Chain A
Amino acid sequence: REAQLFVDKFEGALGKGKGKKFYAYKVMMTKKWMKFQRDFENFKTACIPWEMKIKEIESHFGSSVASYFIFLRWMYGINMILFGLTFGLVMVPEALMGKPYGSLPRKTVPRAEEATAMNFATLWDFSGFAQYSVLFYGYYNNQRTIGWLKFRMPLSYFLVGVGTIGYSFMIVIRTMAKNANDDGGGDDTSFNFSWKMFTSWDYLIGNPETADNKFASITTSFKEAIVEEQESRKEENIHLTRFLRVLANFLALCTLAGSGYLIFFVVRRSQKFALEGLENYGWWERNEVNMVMSLLGMFCPTLFDVISSLENYHPRIALRWQLGRIFALFLGNLYTFIIALMDEINLKASYLPLFNIFNLEEEKIVKYNMTIWEASLYNGTIPENSTAPPIQVDPADVPRGPCWETMVGQEFVRLTVSDTMTTYITILIGDFLRAVFVRFFNYCWCWDLEYGFPSYSEFDISGNVLGLIFNQGMIWMGSFYAPCLPAINVFRLHTSMYLQCWAVMCCNVPQERVFKASRSNNFYMAMLLFILFLSTLPAVYTIVSIPPSFDCGPFSGKTRMFEVISETLELDFPSWFGKVFGYASNPGLILPFILLMVLSIYYLNATSKSYKEANLELKKKLQSVRNKELQ
């Protein structure tokens, strides 16, 4: 038998056999083709960004930590596409074909601000030149078409805004569906440990670094399997466990309620301080609200961690509870903050800047002022009629109306930048300095720093995942008002990936109990979907009900932003199209359509449930057949 193998293998080399040159040639071509395919597969894998880094992290820290980085990479992909949309369809056309800087009042830095427009401090704050550029909503002119291509700028702006939201929804739901598919496949666990032992070493490895990684990943995989085994073997005193879990949930609820009340109280106090004049109080009182919210965000998760040790769950489920609780904490804090503010306003109708931006009164005042100013210009020169040529006024001198969209965009950009800075500084100080401290001061310290307090830090999965999700929510909220946000986010995610990969490998230690991430990342996706929904609500509300500013942006002059669609339909499409659209948007037609969709959703749901059940039945049958074989 072995001799046969030998001859088969070397048939091409051992003399040309029966003179079959063609056969040898064919064999050679087959080998070359296989080699080419292999190289192409290698190339394709090498093209996936950061794959080697993530594999390295996975082998040292386990699949749950790696799942965070895979999530980060997926988010990077989405942001790249959003960036491509906003950059290519909104910013580039405006930059190339729109009227250049300085040609219109809305595109120029007003005279009053000109002196400080180029200072670094102003630019860092995103005012000055940065404000009056393609980066923000206010720069865009409301001309219907621009340039020789007749590019319809306002329409494009509107569609890109809606399109980014629609695309995000679609891709999140598609990923959830795909993950659900994977999860339903299930795996054959009948020989789990045996297979791990006998088939995990890849005999093809010839490189010492890869060998290191492989050893680490085998060890981690064994540890994960051991944890699963221990969890399934644990004996539970049902009543005690249930009681402890109820107690833990109660404590968590108390914490949440306590933090909500604290924020409410602090906001009220700060309103009181504002009324009495901020100069009378020190730094703490002035920044009380921010500080309290940050402190709560820092300490409550640790508290939740301690509480969860009561519950004695499988580590993966414990992670989910932790994520859920921190999520509830942040949302609760945010809502309490907003409610406290609104409460204050109702009480006093005070003139808070945030709600000033919707104030139409101010717009009317500015319009009135502008007509007076124009009249004053004409007064000095022409006595009576209007056939005189328009006066040349430097655009920087024209009085400007308020532009709330740009202000909102600026707030979001500032928030994103400060959030990024905070994250990086926390990583550098919290992880790196701590590791350096433990490493070098261990020699001259009373107790063993590496095992006791503070020791090296573990990678905080829940904190990082939530940070990522909330950050993305802010991007979604703000990208309609500041087209530059996806670009900033792409840059941030890119640097964040490298920084965190380095920090994890250099300063963190693997967790005590390494556990396998669930096959589907649906939990992260579900939270992302929820945040997406929440963050598109404000933008959609402003599009539909609030009139845009009269003096800035691509929709200035209209009563509602979505009117650009009806305008396009009237002017750009043939008339029968408009008629068809008119009929189609009749409520009598839309309601049955919605009903039909609801019914089809119900039907598809029912069929998918029945398929799943059939699947389970088949699996059970397979299992019993296999068991019979074994006996």
Chain B
Amino acid sequence: MDLKERLSGDLQNKEHPSFTNFDTQNQQKWEDPSMLDYSTRIEPPHFLGFNQSSQTQPSNNQIKVPGQDGPVNEALQANKVQEWDPSTMLNNLSFLEQKIHQLQDLVHLIVGRRGQVLGRPDELVAQQQQLITADLTSIIVQLISTAGSLLPSVKHTLSAATPSIGQFGQFGGVVFPPGQGMNGGVQPQNASASKVSEQPNTVDVSSNSGNEQNHIIEEHDMKDEEDAEDGENLLPGTYEILQLEKEEILAPHTHFCTICGKGFKRDANLRMHMRGHGDEYKTPAALAKPHKESSSEPTIIKRYSCPYAGCKRNKDHKKFQPLKTILCVKNHYKRTHCDKSYTCSRCNTKKFSVIADLKTHEKHCGKDKWLCSCGTTFSRKDKLFGHIALFQGHTPAIPLDENKGSIGSCNYTQKSGEE
């Protein structure tokens, strides 16, 4: 019965406050001291003296998580998220099995009771249905996240569809003790922090990704940032230079759930996900952006360097041009120093190393080819005309099929409106 009560209570909370409400609440409640504990984990830079203890924080967090299964958790901790580990899989599967058994018991119970209880049958039936649905949902979520750890490609789609999963996770997180998922995700996050070679003080990688929205944001929305900041002229020495290693740059996720270990590209998405792990993550303060907490403190401008030696974006280059955000680093590194592994399925010629670039290309691929006499094609007419205006002797090339059409129509049409 205990289980039942918790479940129904949770269902009532199912409706989330709208995001705009969140924003106003955040600003008001931000100073709430009870939330500071949580915020330290998200935003270490504001506690500059804290960096030593930040490594120990994962364990703190784990203690707070209610009803964590000790042995399972330990085993999980040893694993790295991304790599396929049979033992983790086994653990997950046995956990799922356990859950299914629980559900089976519950259904048995309901079946047994059906004969005894006669009063108020409608209410009871509704409650039973809710209970079973919730349990099944949590099982499905677990199953998906288990499979997700196995296939990197599945992970992409998962992260894109996070809003719905976040809702499911809510049930899963409450009904069953969380943490049986892939908790190992905490480790890479901290590992990356310690690896930042130049400035160990400013370890917070996650909070700097320049992301200001509460919604799920697709990565390619901001992919042009790398180019946009080219015009920026910061004097050398007026900013800090950070340099990430190749492995970190190529890691698919930068934010990981400390409870289930699920990876995210953006901290906002992670915060949305965290709501499913309990009421303490639903407070406005917990959901707020960890950014901009202290506007009074002078913030030091951070810029990034590409780890590839000899690159113009590398800090040792003579004409070094820093990159603005982590996202810029990632896109720059993939575009410039990686193989172009994504091929356009329509034209089979264009290749990309950033998947968002491929998606952008596919939007225009094959549409209206604007052709110049020099053989260059353009997807947009204004680009073709800009090209022609620039170069001497280049002229718009008229497609051949039009030529045929016009000869035919000229010979045989006699329009009465001609005169």
**A complexed with B:** no
B interface vs A, CB < 8 Å?
none
